[in-house]
Each structure stands twice: as C-alpha cells, then as structure tokens.
C-alpha cells in the first residue's frame, strides 16, 4: 500500500517470497530505487521493520512488514548549464533536439545536473511549464543510453497540442535497433502490456493488467548474428522497444538490463551503450499544422557498430548507413 502525501510518500511492504534479502536490496526493489538511495533512506531512519529500525544489512524474514517513507525532494531550482546541444529544428513554438547517449533527460535524485533540461535552461529562451517544474518543455522522453530525436515545447499552447497529438498517436516515432538473432518474420507486431517488474522494480516487464503497449518491428537488414530493425512505436511506455524485443528472444544489442549485453565486443559497442536510436520523427506543427519530418543519422558509436556487424565495405563510404540500407524506404504512418 502506498500513500502519496504532500509531505512525501509512505508505503508498506510485506516481505513474503523475498525473505532472506538484505534490507537495502528489498527496499530498492520494492520502491523502484537504486540501492544507494535505499541505503540512504535506511540510514536516515526513514525505514522501519515491524515498527523498529534495522541496518541496511539486515536479512529480511517472510512475515516482516517494511514501512518506507520517501521524503519530498528538496526544493531545487534548475541550474542553467552551458552544455552544447544538437538542435535539428527550432522555431517560436518548439525545438527538436538530437540527444546524445549518456545524457539524462531531466533532473531527478542522483542526476540534478548535466541533464538535457539543464542544457535547455542554459540556452535561454522560453520553455513550456506544462511538463512540471523539473521537466520544462518536455513532451516525451528517451532513456539515458538511447540517442536521437526528442521534441521540446516552448509555449503552453504548443505543449498542450503536442501532448494531445502524442496521445492521439499522430506523432510518429521510429527507432533504429540492432537485435541479437533474427526475427521470425520480416514484420512482427507486439501487443503486450507493460508495468514495473514485480521481481525487480528497476526493470519493466510484460505484466497482465499493465499499460497497453504496442510496437511494430520491421527487419531492414539481416546480418550473420543480428538484425537491423525499424521499430515503430504505437504507444510510448518506458523501455517499450527493449522489453518487447527481449520478449521475442531478440534483445537489443548492448542492453545489459534485458539480456542483450553479451557480445559487446563483437558488436564494437562501448560500455553501457545499447543500439537504440530515435532516428525518424514525423509530427504536425502545433500551430500551423504543417507536417514536419526529421531524421537523425546514426551517431559515431552506433555507426561503427553497424559497420562492424554488417561487414559491407561499401557501407562505410555512405554518409548515412541507415539510408543506404533502406531504413527510410517506408511511410512512418504505415509501418
């Protein structure tokens, strides 16, 4: 049970099948926190076991009831930072950023600086407030290690209109992914609900009763050990493409969280990088209604990875390997 109060969040958890876990690990999994965050809560007397205090190393028992209080985040102003951004489109109403891998999108515990939002505020100029105090302008998000195109609203009207377009699925987002192995067919549709993994709250999983999640996966090219896939999002759940591909037995190359991290050297990927890139975006302009279509070439690390697995000498001379392989030879409205 969870109580979201203005003064923080309180939750109660019965250990059950997780008996024997360290208290810090149990709290991290139960509350979708990092282990460090859980240990900090325990050290700060914000966690009790059967009404009393225990240390982080305490081994839980099946009948233990763990109460967790997560204090509200401290009031923080977003610090403007001079961080270069690749802006691929901008006008008075919105901008589209080509986010690099490794950049967190918005400030949160453990990432109060160095985020895309810090960089946006550092640029100056208007940003819509509809996304919340720590998410000004954001219409959607990308995972930290996912690169590519991301939409930012400058005005309240643009934010409302773009958010409604996203909900109505008139914003088309198409991703390039390398997955291990080979899809069973050239085109695969996955319609499987997603929610937090009940066994590990840091992950997402296919869970009956979870939020509707639909992805269309189209093989663009088949190589010895991997497929290059065009992934069309019909919904925008956390880790959606990564979980759906993993559910087929073909996880994203380099994805340590969902089983694709092995063979990183074969795929010439750096540590903590997975091959997922928001490469293609089509959206109606929030004011004029004009159709905007934007593309992002593979960043250098993913380009090197694709060349390593493809082993096609002519490909390395093409300015955009995705284009050369026919990735954009489709209508994003009709995957």
Q: Which residues are catalytic?
A: 143
Q: How far is CA 221 from the centre of its chain?
A: 24
- What is the CB neighbour count within 10 angstroms for residue 70? 19
Angstrom CA distances, 175 to 235, 277, 279, stand at 13, 5, 5
8 A C-beta contact, residue 137 and residue 97: no
- Tokens 């509707």 sit on residue: 212
Nearest-angstrom CA–CA distance, 77 and 61: 41
DSSP per position, 95-146:
EEEEEPTT--SS-BTTBSSSSHHHHHHHH-S---STT-TTSTTBSS---TT-
First to last CA, the chain: 41
Structure-block tokens of residue 12: 């109660």
Q: How far is CA 97 from the centre of its chain?
A: 15
8 A C-beta contact, residue 151 and residue 278: no
């Amino acid at each position: 049970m969870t109580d979201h109060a203005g003064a923080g969040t309180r939750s109660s958890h019965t250990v059950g099948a997780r008996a024997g876990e360290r208290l810090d690990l149990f709290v991290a999994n139960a509350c979708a926190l990092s282990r460090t965050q859980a240990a900090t809560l325990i050290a700060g007397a914000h966690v009790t076991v059967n009404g009393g205090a225990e240390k982080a190393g305490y081994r839980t028992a099946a009948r233990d009831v763990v109460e967790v209080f997560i204090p509200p985040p401290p009031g923080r102003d977003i610090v403007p930072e001079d961080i270069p951004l690749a802006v691929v489109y901008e006008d008075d109403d919105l901008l589209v950023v080509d986010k690099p891998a490794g950049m967190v999108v918005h400030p949160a515990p453990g990432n109060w600086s160095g985020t895309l939002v810090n960089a946006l505020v550092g640029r100056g100029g208007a940003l819509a407030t509809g996304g919340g105090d720590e998410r000004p302008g954001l219409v959607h998000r990308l995972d930290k290690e996912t690169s590519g195109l991301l939409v930012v609203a400058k005005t309240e009207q643009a934010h409302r209109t773009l958010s409604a377009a996203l909900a109505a699925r008139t914003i088309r987002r198409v991703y390039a992914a390398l997955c291990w192995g080979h899809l069973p067919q050239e085109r695969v549709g996955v319609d499987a609900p997603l929610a937090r993994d009940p066994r590990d709250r840091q992950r997402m999983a296919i869970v009956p009763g979870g939020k509707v999640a639909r992805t269309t996966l189209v093989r663009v090219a088949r190589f010895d050990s991997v497929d290059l896939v065009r992934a069309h999002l019909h919904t925008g759940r956390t880790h959606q493409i990564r979980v759906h591909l993993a559910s087929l037995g073909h996880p994203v190359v380099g994805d340590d969280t969902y089983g694709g991290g092995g063979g990183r050297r074969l795929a010439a990927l750096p540590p903590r990088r997975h091959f997922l890139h928001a490469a293609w975006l089509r959206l109606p302009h929030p004011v004029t209604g004009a159709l905007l279509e934007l593309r992002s070439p593979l960043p250098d690390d993913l380009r090197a990875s694709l060349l390593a697995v493809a082993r096609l000498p002519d490909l390395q001379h093409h300015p955009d390997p995705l284009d050369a392989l026919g990735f954009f030879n489709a209508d994003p409205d009709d995957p």
